Amino acid sequence: MTDIQRLFAALEATWPAAATSACGPFTIRDGAGGGKRVSAATANGPATEAEVVAAEAAMSALGQTPLFQIRPGDEALDALLDGMGYTVVDPTRLMAAPIDVVADADKGGKDVKTIHGWGPLAFMVEMWRDGGIGPERIAVMERASEPKTGLLGRMVNTPGGTAFVSLDGEVAMIHALEVRQTSRRGGMGRVATIDAAMWARDQGATTFALACTEANTAANALYAGLGMQDMGGYHYRQKS
C-alpha cells in the first residue's frame, strides 16, 4: 500500500482545484466555490510571516478567505499561523487499504444495489444537493481525473445513497458519499463503498483511499470496519 505523500497526490488529482498558482513557498488554489480542500494554500517549504501575508493577499484577490492546509512536516508553519491568530479547522484523516480488502468485504446480506456511470444522474445530483454538495462541488468532480464514476445506491428499489470515485494511476479515491436519512443504518454506506472499490479494481486500482473529517465518527467507523487504515492526516488553519 502507498504512503501518505502518494495519497495527497491522488487527492489533488481526484478532487482538483479550478486552478493553481505559486506565491513564494505556497501553492495557491482557486477553488471556484468548491470547498476548503480545493481552496486551501499548501506550503512547499519553510515560510516566513511576510510570505504568509503575501499568500493571504493572493487568496483574498480570488475572493477567498485565507485558508491554509497543514500537512505532516508543516509543524513550523502550523506554529507560525497559530501565532498569527489562525485557529484549527476540520482535522481530517486519510484512510487507505489494498483494493482487495475493501472490494472483497462482506456486504452483510443487505438489500442494496448500486449502478454507476458519469455524468451524474438526476437522483445523484438531488441527493448531493440535499447533503450540501452543490454545483460547485459537482464541478470539482467534472474536473477530476479519469477513469471516474458516480454511484447510485438503491434500497428496496428506492434511491438512498450516492458517491463519486476517481482514479489517479493505481490509487482510487471515493468522495462525496451521501446517504439519505431514511436509508441510514441499512447498509447503504457499506455496500456503496464496497461496490466503489469493486468498480475501481476493474479499472486497475490497487489501493482504495479517502479523506474523512475526524468529527464524522460514524463514517470513520464504517471505513475502519472495512479494513481501511489511518495513514495520517491534515487540518486547516483559518483566522478566527
- pLDDT tens-digit series, residues 101-137: 999 999 887 778 899 999 999 999 999 999 999 999 9
Q: Considering the domain boundaries, does residue 218 fall inside one?
A: yes
Same domain, yes or no: 10 and 99: no
Average model confidence (pLDDT) across the chain = 95
Q: Is residue 191 part of a domain?
A: yes
**Cα–Cα distance measured from residue 101 to residue 171, given in angstroms and rounded to the nearest whole number:** 14
Whether residues 101 and 194 share a domain: the answer is: yes
- Give the Cα separation of 30 and 201 in Å (integer): 32
pLDDT of amino acid 13? 97
Structural domain containing residue 215: 95-231
CB 233 within 8 A of CB 91: yes
Domain boundary, last residue among 93, 122, 141: 93
| Residue 113 and residue 186 in one domain | yes
Confidence of residue 40 (pLDDT cuts 50, 70, 90): very high
**Looking at the structure, do residues 87 and 99 belong to the same domain, yes or no?**
no
Residue 1 has pLDDT above 60, yes or no: no
**What band does 186 get if pLDDT is binned at 50, 70 and 90?**
confident
Share of the chain above pLDDT 70, in %: 100
Cα gap 196→231, rounded to integer Å: 20
Q: How far apart are alpha carbons 80 and 49 in whole angstroms?
A: 7
Residues 139 and 82 in one domain: no
Maximum pairwise Cα distance, the chain: 58
d(CA 123, CA 75): 43
Let me know if residue 192 belongs to a domain.
yes
Counted residue by residue, the chain has a size of 240
CATH code at 196? 3.40.630.30
What pLDDT digit, counting tens, does each position of 41-71 carry?
Answer: 999 999 999 999 999 999 999 999 999 999 9
pLDDT of residue 180: 86
Decide which of 185 and 198 is more confident: 198
- Say yes or no: 87 and 101 in one domain: no
pLDDT-wise least confident of 77-81, 116-120, 196-200, 232-236: 116-120
Question: Do 58 and 103 fall within a single domain?
Answer: no
Domain count, the chain: 2
For residues 129 and 222, membership in a common domain is answered with yes
Q: Please give the Cα distance from 120 to 142 (Å, whole number).
A: 9
In a domain, 188, yes or no: yes
Q: Are residues 112 and 83 in the same domain?
A: no
Residues in a beta bridge with 20:
29
How high is the pLDDT of residue 233? 96
| Percent of the chain residues topping a pLDDT of 90 | 88
Domain assignment present for 239: no
The answer to whether residues 112 and 222 belong to one domain is: yes
Instruction: Find cell 459537482 and name the residue.
Output: 138
Question: Are 164 and 191 found together in one domain?
Answer: yes
112 and 179 fall within a common domain: yes
Between 9 and 1, the more confident residue is 9
Domain final residue, candidates 93, 110, 134: 93
Instruction: Determine, yes or no, domain membership for 152.
Output: yes
- pLDDT above 90: residue 37: yes
pLDDT at 157: 78
In contact, 237 and 90? CB cutoff 8 Å: no
Which residues, in sequence order, are CB contacts of 200 under 8 Å at separation 6+? 99, 103, 165, 167, 172, 208
